[in-house]
């Protein structure tokens, strides 16, 4: 009902008419159905608050500014279908009289109706922001037409919510190459209410929580990783040998290998070019022996097909060679190598991917072959070294007069 065309008197009459209509509709509803409960699809009776709060022009006359009038303008229509499809009086007590009584009219707080959320909220960083303007429920949800629980999961709602986070965290926009840019809610990784820095205990991104946080969407990887040597170490499912005076070993979590906001394509993780870098940073010795191996050299020369670390060890099911389930356990090597060498046999797998020429116990054949080659090389070099030195010394000293064949040649030349 638009009243902008009419004067105050006419409007007064219209408000009275609306009130009369309201009571008439209510009475009819009660006598016809025996109950006044709203039914889906049946238009609701005009509620009393709507009479004034649904009329912007009326509110404008009782407000100092148009903005104030706009914020007072809360129609029943606004709430319909939203998470807060409730009667006004559920949240606003004592407003039925007008002018509204200052002292006795109260508005319920968000926390009073959502106590579980409020507890999580109190534990998080946002509840304790002391510099700048504090963050409140309204900053993310608004007040009256909040989305429903299902609505919060819709793609448009996610994008809109991400924009709200970014309004305060604009430096955290995802780079264009990152896989999670628009499709994933900030809150899926950071949580919605108990939001903490990733390195703070209790964060959804703390080392031990990532399996649940990332695993909510990447179930297969998380399930494998639960039994992986790194996963088990992170989750505390195995004890780790520690050396006194040294930092305990730090196994990688999902984001060590993949990165957070700077996430790159997984293939780049294996290649060691990702932000957390690949395996080489933590397993230097094995990286060196890999580098000297056939596969390492082929990769360096640009082969895209040659095995990298995960080609043999997998990415999320890495286990020590001594574990029978490991992809590099002796019994499984034919299958593992067989992915790329279909005709691999047990003797083919005798090839040592981490052959170390300096380690006699681990690689005796390599060790002795290397020694022999070195002996041959140094022997040959020494022999020719001595030979060359003697020859040089002799030619510098000059040759004895009138001697042998050379003299003969010269003579022949003179003739």
Site for ligand HEC in 105-164 (CB under 6 A): 107-108, 110-114, 117-118, 121, 125-126, 129, 132, 135, 137-141, 143-144, 146, 148-149, 152-153, 161-162, 164
The only residue of 3, 14, 46, 168 in contact with ligand HEC, by rule CB under 6 A: 168
Distance CA 11, CA 20 (A): 14
Pick 129 or 392: Cβ nearer ligand HEC: 129
Between 240 and 375, name the residue whose CB sits nearer to ligand HEC.
Answer: 240
14: contact with ligand HEC by CB under 6 A: no
Contact between 46 and ligand HEC by CB under 6 A: the answer reads no
Place of tokens 């924009």: 163
Q: Which is nearer to ligand HEC, 284 or 399 (CB)?
A: 284
Q: How far apart are CA 42 and CA 294, in angstroms?
A: 76
Question: How many residues form the binding site for ligand HEC (CB under 6 A)?
Answer: 149
> Residue 200 or residue 380: which is nearer to ligand HEC going by CB?
200
Q: How far is the CB of 331 from ligand HEC (least distance, A)?
A: 11
Residue closer to ligand HEC (CB basis): 71 or 369: 71
Q: Which stretch binds ligand HEC (CB under 6 A): 35-43, 191-199, 376-384, 403-411?
A: 191-199
Question: Under rule CB under 6 A, which residues in 298-337 are in contact with ligand HEC?
Answer: 298, 303, 305-307, 309-313, 315-316, 318, 320-322, 328, 333, 336-337
The residue among 174, 166, 114 whose CA lies nearest residue 140 is 166
Centre a 10 Å sphere on the Cβ of residue 44 and count the other Cβ atoms it contains: 15
Which of 287, 286, 260 is CA-nearest to residue 271?
287
Task: Round to whole Å and give the CA distance between 36 and 229.
Answer: 64
Tokens 């148009």 identify what position? 66
User: Is the Cβ–Cβ distance between 57 and 70 less than 8 Å?
Assistant: no
- Which pair of tokens denotes residue 122? 């109190």
The CB-of-41 to ligand HEC minimum distance in angstroms stands at 19
Residue 158 to residues 153, 164, 186: CA-CA distances in angstroms?
A: 7, 10, 8
């Amino acid at each position: 009902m638009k009243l902008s065309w009419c004067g105050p008197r006419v409007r007064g009459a219209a408000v009275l008419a609306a009130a009369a209509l309201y009571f008439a509709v209510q009475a009819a509803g009660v006598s016809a159905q025996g109950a006044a409960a709203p039914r889906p699809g049946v238009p609701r009776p005009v509620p009393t608050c709507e009479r004034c709060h649904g009329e912007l022009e009326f509110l404008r006359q009782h407000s100092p500014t148009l903005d104030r009038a706009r914020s007072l303008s809360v129609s029943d229509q606004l709430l319909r279908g939203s998470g807060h499809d409730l009667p006004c009086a559920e949240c606003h007590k004592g407003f039925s009289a007008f002018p509204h009584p200052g002292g006795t009219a109260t508005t319920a707080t968000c926390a009073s109706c959502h106590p579980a959320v409020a507890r999580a909220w109190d534990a998080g960083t946002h509840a304790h922001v002391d510099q700048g303007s504090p963050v409140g429920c309204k900053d993310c949800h608004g007040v009256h037409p909040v989305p429903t629980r299902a609505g919060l999961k819709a793609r448009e709602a996610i994008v809109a919510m991400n924009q709200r986070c970014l309004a305060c965290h604009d430096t955290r926009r995802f780079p264009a190459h990152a896989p999670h840019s628009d499709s994933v809610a900030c809150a899926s990784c950071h949580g919605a209410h108990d939001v903490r820095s990733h390195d703070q205990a209790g964060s959804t991104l703390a080392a031990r929580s990532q399996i649940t946080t990332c695993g909510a969407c990447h179930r297969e990887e998380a399930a494998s990783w639960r039994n992986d040597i790194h996963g088990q170490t992170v989750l505390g499912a195995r004890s780790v040998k520690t050396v006194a005076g040294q930092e305990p070993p730090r196994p990688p979590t999902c984001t060590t290998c993949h990165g957070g906001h700077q996430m790159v394509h997984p293939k780049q993780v294996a290649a060691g070019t990702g932000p957390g870098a690949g395996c080489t940073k933590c397993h230097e010795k094995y990286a060196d022996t890999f580098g000297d191996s056939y596969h390492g050299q082929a990769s360096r020369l640009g082969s895209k097909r040659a095995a990298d670390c995960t080609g043999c060890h997998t990415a999320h099911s890495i286990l020590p060679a001594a574990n029978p389930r490991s992809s590099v356990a002796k019994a499984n090597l034919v299958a593992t190598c067989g992915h790329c060498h279909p005709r691999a046999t047990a003797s083919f797998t005798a090839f040592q991917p981490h052959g170390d020429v300096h380690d006699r116990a681990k690689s005796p054949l390599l060790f002795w072959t290397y020694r022999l080659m070195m002996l041959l090389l140094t022997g040959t070099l020494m022999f020719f070294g001595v030979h060359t030195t003697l020859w040089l010394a002799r030619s510098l000293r000059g040759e004895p007069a009138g001697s042998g064949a050379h003299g003969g040649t010269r003579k022949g030349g003179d003739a």
